[in-house]
Amino acid sequence: MLLDLTPEQRAFKESIEQFARGVVAPRAAAIDESGEFPLDVIRAAAGRGLLGVAVSKAWGGLGLDYLSYALAIEAVARASATLAASLVVTNSLVAELVAYAGDQFQKEQWLRALASGKTIGAFALSEPEAGTDAANQQTRAVKAGAGYRITGQKVWVANADAAAVAVVFAVTRPGAGTHGITAFLVPMDAPGITRRARDDSLGVRGLGCMDLDFEVEVGESQVLGPVDQGFRLAMWALQGGRVAIAAQALGIGEAAIDEAIRHAKARKQFGEPIANYQAIQWMLADVATELAAARMLTWKAAVAKDGQESRMVGASMAKLAASEAAHKAADKAMQILASAGYRRGSVVERLFRDVRATEIYQGTSEAQRMIIAERELGI
């Protein structure tokens, strides 16, 4: 039964916290303000092995367990939610998926470069008509010569601004639902890909989200995993991604609590620091407790990811609990800072915007509840 970290996990966590405080935190406000993809900070994170934390050393990763990866994402998110989200895409949704389903050629071509941070990855599942209903893919991949012709549109593709490769999902057997979708590894410089910048977003600004139009030819060698099994692979990747987004949410929530505590101790009203008032103390106590509970679910789901047991429901519970606890933490931090938090450019104002995405991407809270309820009801 897991209740604490090993000395190695603790040391790794502390080293990433130091990196996040020293290198990432000073850039967080500028990343948010400019909305530009932070390639310099990603390169710095790559230098710490943060683009392939759970990828084996043989392929250029750190070869660490999933809990260590979750600890790293939480530490980074405490400094910059944007950087953490970008790392989750390359790690969980691309590099780990190539390690899991890729053949030797694909691993040689992409995995080492992804895990070492030379290449950034993107994951293109969502479409205008396929959000929560991700199986409703309209993108088609039709046999053409020795490969496939992929035609369609993907939306909200994070990292697309700088990615060299994208995992693209397309229907190969129309009418077969989740059993007729195939995953492809598509180089982003292939002729026939049009990148379109998305409108400005509320939070996690600088995530490099773009919409992509495909009119592209790919070879057989770019099929990732078995033909028609791509949806299963997408769900496999999202299990890890949801654990990591839970960790991201925890980091944002902790940052909000840090800000609230700092302010509550410094700000005096009625002659006393507001931290002395029970109304403030109870807000802090509640959100600290809910984040701690969510952290246990996140750690449990991370440990399960390394094991053999079915993990989807645990990852969904972790993401649901952590994202909602973090949302509440940011909300209460805003209440405790009041006008000081409501000011444009305050840290809490940024956290309040950033945290909202954790309840939307990699499956909304409703999608997580559907998965949990189906397990509970046995349907």
**Widest CA span of the chain, in angstroms?**
79
54/125 with CB nearer ligand FAD: 125
Smallest distance from the beta carbon of 12 to ligand FAD, in angstroms? Answer: 26
106/358 with CB nearer ligand FAD: 358
93/264 with CB nearer ligand FAD: 93
Report the C-alpha gap between 328 and 318 in whole angstroms: 15
Q: Which residue lies nearest ligand FAD, judged by its C-beta?
A: 131
Report the C-alpha gap between 211 and 348 in whole angstroms: 29
Smallest distance from the beta carbon of 156 to ligand FAD, in angstroms? Answer: 4
- Contact residues for ligand FAD (CB under 6 A)? 89, 123-126, 131-132, 156-158, 201, 204, 207, 209, 357, 360-361, 363-364, 366-367
Angle between helices 347-354 and 312-337 (to 10 degrees): 150
Tell me, what amino acid is at 9? Q
Smallest distance from the beta carbon of 130 to ligand FAD, in angstroms? Answer: 8
Smallest distance from the beta carbon of 79 to ligand FAD, in angstroms? Answer: 18
126/229 with CB nearer ligand FAD: 126
Indicate the Cα dihedral angle 57, 61, 64, 68, nearest 10°. Answer: 170
Smallest distance from the beta carbon of 308 to ligand FAD, in angstroms? Answer: 27
Give CA angle at 125 (369, 143), nearest 5°.
Answer: 135
65/96 with CB nearer ligand FAD: 96
Give CA angle at 88 (294, 247), nearest 5°.
Answer: 15
Report the C-alpha gap between 203 and 56 in whole angstroms: 32
CB atoms within 10 A of CB 142: 12
Angle between helices 39-47 and 25-34 (to 10 degrees): 150
204/223 with CB nearer ligand FAD: 204
Smallest distance from the beta carbon of 289 to ligand FAD, in angstroms? Answer: 26
Smallest distance from the beta carbon of 22 to ligand FAD, in angstroms? Answer: 26
72/157 with CB nearer ligand FAD: 157
Smallest distance from the beta carbon of 365 to ligand FAD, in angstroms? Answer: 7
Give CA angle at 135 (131, 138), nearest 5°.
Answer: 80
H runs (alpha helix) in 4-53: 7-19, 25-34, 39-47
64/371 with CB nearer ligand FAD: 371
φ/ψ of 196, rounded to 5, equals -125, 125
